[in-house]
Each structure stands twice: as structure tokens, then as C-alpha cells.
């Protein structure tokens, strides 16, 4: 089970790295869009995150449901906004920086909201 958790965590981290990388690669661009790395990264981070919750629930550690709830809602908002704006020729700066802020907040929640397990 520990190997599965680590593999999912590895995929989870690659997912949001692609999301944040897809955002940061457009910082200087005039016309910002939802690009491939943002689309695939948001989806991968979300699904791997859900699978991670399943693995942790199956384990005997205590799971911090409040923390997972916050991450789930933020992850869902990111995924929804990314998918809703996939075909737009350009996205407003407010949405772009909102997605970047939400992604960074979810990293902060994961890292700084300390608990035994998540």
C-alpha cells in the first residue's frame, strides 16, 4: 500500500507541477490561454489526489478530513475553471492570476497544514 501511495503522490506532484508550469510559462504573454499542461495537470492532480485519499482512508493512519475538504474544493474550482475555458482564444488576466493563486494556495495547504497524515 505504501508503494501505491508513493506512486500516486509522485503522479499527483507531476500533475500540479504541470498545472503551475503551464501557468508560469505564460506570465509574460499578452494573450493567456488554458494550455495543454494546465488542462492535463489539473486533471491529473485532481484524480491522483482523490486516489490518494482512498489509499489513506484504507490505511490505519488518521486522515484530516477538514484539510482534504479544503483541497478538494480548491482542486474542483481549479479543474472547473480550466475545463470551462479550454476553448477560449484568450482568458482574462483575473482568471489567469486566480488560477495561479488557487494552485499555490493548495500547495501551501498541503505543506503547512500539518497533521499526522494529510
| Residue 38 near residue 23 (C-beta atoms within 8 A) | yes
CA distance to 4, 12, 52, per residue, from 47 (Å): 14, 8, 9
| Residue 39 near residue 18 (C-beta atoms within 8 A) | no
The single residue among 34, 38, 78, 82 that binds ligand HEM, judged by CB under 6 A, is 78
Nearer to ligand HEM, 5 or 90 (CB): 5
Nearer to ligand HEM, 30 or 108 (CB): 108
H helices of the chain, in order, are 2-24, 36-58, 65-84, 93-112
Distance, CA of 24 to CA of 90 (rounded, Å): 16
CB of 30 to ligand HEM, least distance (A): 25
Q: Does 39 bind ligand HEM (CB under 6 A)?
A: no
Place of cell 475555458: 85
Q: Does 44 bind ligand HEM (CB under 6 A)?
A: no
Q: Does 56 bind ligand HEM (CB under 6 A)?
A: yes
CB of 71 to ligand HEM, least distance (A): 4
> What does the radius of gyration of the chain's CA atoms come to, in whole angstroms?
15
Q: Does 96 bind ligand HEM (CB under 6 A)?
A: no
Q: Give the footprint of ligand HEM on this chain (CB under 6 A).
A: 5, 9, 12, 16, 19, 45-46, 49-50, 52-53, 56, 68, 71-72, 75, 78, 103, 106-107, 110-111, 118
Amino acid at each position: 500500500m505504501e508503494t501505491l501511495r508513493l506512486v500516486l503522490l509522485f503522479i499527483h506532484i507531476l500533475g500540479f507541477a504541470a498545472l503551475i508550469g503551464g501557468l508560469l510559462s505564460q506570465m509574460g504573454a499578452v494573450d493567456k490561454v488554458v494550455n495543454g499542461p494546465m488542462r492535463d495537470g489539473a486533471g491529473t492532480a485532481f484524480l491522483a489526489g482523490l486516489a490518494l485519499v482512498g489509499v489513506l482512508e484504507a490505511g490505519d493512519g488518521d486522515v484530516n478530513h477538514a484539510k482534504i475538504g479544503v483541497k478538494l474544493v480548491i482542486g474542483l474550482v481549479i479543474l472547473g475553471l480550466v475545463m470551462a475555458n479550454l476553448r477560449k482564444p484568450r482568458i482574462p488576466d483575473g482568471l489567469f492570476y486566480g488560477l495561479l493563486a488557487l494552485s499555490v494556495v493548495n500547495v501551501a495547504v498541503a505543506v503547512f497544514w500539518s497533521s499526522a497524515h494529510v
